[in-house]
Amino acid sequence: MLSHMLEWYDLRDEEREIRDLALEVAREEVAPNADAHDVDGTFVRESIEALGKSGLLGVFVPKEYGGLGGSPLAATLAIEAISAACGSTGMSFMFHCNLIHVVDGAGPDSLKEKYFPQFAAGKLGAFAINEQRRLFREKFDTTAADDGDDYIINGKKPFVTSAGEADVYIVQVQLEGVPSPIPVMGQRYILIEGGYDGVGAWTYDPMGLRGASNGGVTFENVRVPKENAVGAEPDPMVRSVASKGNSVFSPHLIAMGCAGMALEAAVHHARTHDQQEWMSHTLAPLSDQVNALRAYTYYAARLMEGPVSQRLNHTHNEIQRLGGELGPQVCDRAMEIMGGASFMRSSPVQRAFRDARGSCYPAFAMEHRRANSADGLYGREAYAEQPPTMPWDPHADYNFWLLWARGAAHLPEEAKQRMSRAAFEDFARSRGSDTMTVEICAEYMTSAGRPPAGVGGPPGAGGPPPGVGGPPPGVGESPPVGVGAGGPPRETE
């Protein structure tokens, strides 16, 4: 299994060690249980426990907190290897690593001290971000009410991997009584433990990723200490959004692992069945596609070692889309090469196909991935037309790019001028600063003249568009039904 993983040209010794450890755990602990969990639709608890015992749940936890301290590429290789053995385990593992990445990048240090040792010791994290009908929203239905030292959380998140099984969820909430011209500024990411009173969950019966406990999580008057809010002050959401968007950890890694496993199975079948010419002609482009996806992904993992940047976010969007398209295609062609035997329940390749297809929905459904990739192209051109004349904090620069990538081009000309880089920098100088800090960037974004907009409302004159941090209104109004993203048939919600 994955005996021919791409030997990346600058792989470090520690990264090879983590990759080899992940392959060993995948072969000996994860793969033997994968089929049973797929058939029964039960959570891959034994596999998650094996990841914990081996230290892999702490692969991205810094060593000072008891983790392996692996690089982004080391964690990527580990997720790919586990996904080749079991897509369900890989999906839960990926979201766990991404939660750690967001907290590590956004802070505060108190959350790292509180939870990172737990993750390194085997606790499982999960994402509970998206809500039904639209991926990025002016206002979330899940709310946080201020109650002294605590928040009171109410709402539900219908698209969650490891629902009811995770120890800690990162939840995006709407802060009650905190109006903001920029919708995302009135929201927060909060870590909520699965054992808190008032936290509930349900699961679906999906086609693929059947062992990942895909379902929803509910919050009914859940009391959470304010210290569990993600993002260092000031302007925590600026830091959180930038950290979340600058990541290689996405569902495409599961598709990549599944495709690699299916390719190797097809190669073995063709080699032991007279190596027919049509099989050879089919295998060659499949190998190209898998290795091209790997190379682009590993490149993105290396970018994660630097500061947040619009380049990494655009790459992140492209590899998500590419993985969602290539993963199922490679698995499908592998089944074609292997014939009817691959269609039987006893074949892991049919499971890989369903898991790869299921990976097209979590986090971003395919139409969102395509829209985000195109938005990145627009934003990159607009960004290049406005070179800075003063130093910019990387988080501030990223959010400026995101503003233009997410729809500023649709504003009237007067409003565009108010959102130009020159306008930001003039504002910084008016504050007596020769540097664009996160604080000054956020202050200008929230005071640029647009009153708070209602859900789906138009932008006010002179202000940024609704949905900064997400695609323009109207993109992906209805997320797809089903498995990994989620959701139940629409009539059940």
Q: Tell me the pLDDT tens digit for each residue of 4-51.
A: 666 777 899 999 999 999 999 999 999 999 999 999 999 999 999 999
> What does the pLDDT average to over 372-389?
83
Please check whether residue 304 lies inside any domain of the structure.
Answer: no
Buried b (16+ CB within 10 A) or exposed e, 178-204: eeebbbbbbbbbbbbbbeeeebebebb
Residue 131 DSSP class: B
**Structural domain tally of the chain?**
2
Return the bridge partners of 187, or none.
174
Please check whether residue 425 lies inside any domain of the structure.
Answer: yes
CB 270 within 8 A of CB 337: yes
> What does the pLDDT average to over 215-230?
98
Instruction: Tell me whether strands 125-128 and 143-147 are parallel, antiparallel or unpaired.
Output: unpaired
Amino acid at site 146: D
Residue found under tokens 């596609």: 289
Range of the domain at 191: 125-234
What percent of the chain has pLDDT above 90? 60
CATH number at residue 426: 1.10.8
- Rounded mean pLDDT of the chain? 85
From 203, 234, 265, the end of a domain falls on 234
Q: Distance (Å, rounded) from C-alpha 92 to C-alpha 95?
A: 6
Please check whether residue 408 lies inside any domain of the structure.
Answer: yes
Q: Which two tokens stand for residue 493?
A: 């919600």
Q: How far is CA 413 from CA 104, 420, 424, 456, 462, in A?
A: 39, 10, 16, 22, 9
CATH number at residue 187: 2.40.110.10
> What does the pLDDT average to over 216-231?
98
User: Which residues fall within 8 angstroms of residue 411, CB to CB, at 6 or more apart?
Assistant: 419, 459, 464, 465
Residue-level pLDDT at 12: 95
Instruction: Tell me whether strands 187-193 and 143-147 are parallel, antiparallel or unpaired.
Output: unpaired
Q: Which two tokens stand for residue 422?
A: 């020159």
Please check whether residue 417 lies inside any domain of the structure.
Answer: yes
Residue found under tokens 């993002």: 231
pLDDT at 488 over 80: no
> What does the pLDDT average to over 366-376?
81
User: Which residues fall within 8 angstroms of residue 321, CB to CB, at 6 or more apart?
Assistant: 252, 366, 369, 370, 372, 373
Closest CA to 149 of 225, 229, 236, 228: 225
Q: DSSP for 440-454? A: HHHHHHHTSSPPPPP
Please tell me whether the peptide bond between 471 and the residue prior to it is cis, using omega within 30 degrees of 0.
no
Q: Which of 285-294, 325-334, 445-454, 475-484 has the lowest mean pLDDT?
A: 475-484
Residue found under tokens 């993203």: 485
The confidence band for 307, taking pLDDT boundaries of 50, 70 and 90, is: confident
Residue-level pLDDT at 239: 83
The string of pLDDT tens digits covering residues 247-274 is 899 999 999 999 999 999 999 999 888 7
Q: Which two tokens stand for residue 479?
A: 């997320």
Helices and strands per DSSP (H, E), number in the chain:
16, 7
From 234, 256, 283, the end of a domain falls on 234
The string of pLDDT tens digits covering residues 349-369 is 999 999 999 998 887 778 878
Phi, psi angles (nearest 5°) of residue 208: -130, 175
The confidence band for 246, taking pLDDT boundaries of 50, 70 and 90, is: confident
Instruction: State whether residue 228 is helix, strand or coil.
Output: helix
Residue-level pLDDT at 285: 93
The confidence band for 410, taking pLDDT boundaries of 50, 70 and 90, is: low
Amino acid at site 360: C
pLDDT at 211 over 90: yes
From 175, 210, 234, the end of a domain falls on 234
Closest CA to 382 of 353, 412, 356, 406: 406
The string of pLDDT tens digits covering residues 152-194 is 999 999 999 999 999 999 999 999 988 766 667 789 999 999 9
How many residues are given for the chain?
493
Please check whether residue 97 lies inside any domain of the structure.
Answer: no
Residue-level pLDDT at 408: 61
Residue 57 DSSP class: G
> What does the pLDDT average to over 365-392?
84
Q: How far is CA 204 from the centre of its chain?
A: 21
Please check whether residue 273 lies inside any domain of the structure.
Answer: no
Please check whether residue 31 lies inside any domain of the structure.
Answer: no
Please check whether residue 356 lies inside any domain of the structure.
Answer: no
Residue 185 DSSP class: G
Q: Which two tokens stand for residue 51?
A: 């990841």
The confidence band for 137, taking pLDDT boundaries of 50, 70 and 90, is: low
CA angle 85, 88, 91 (to 5 degrees): 105
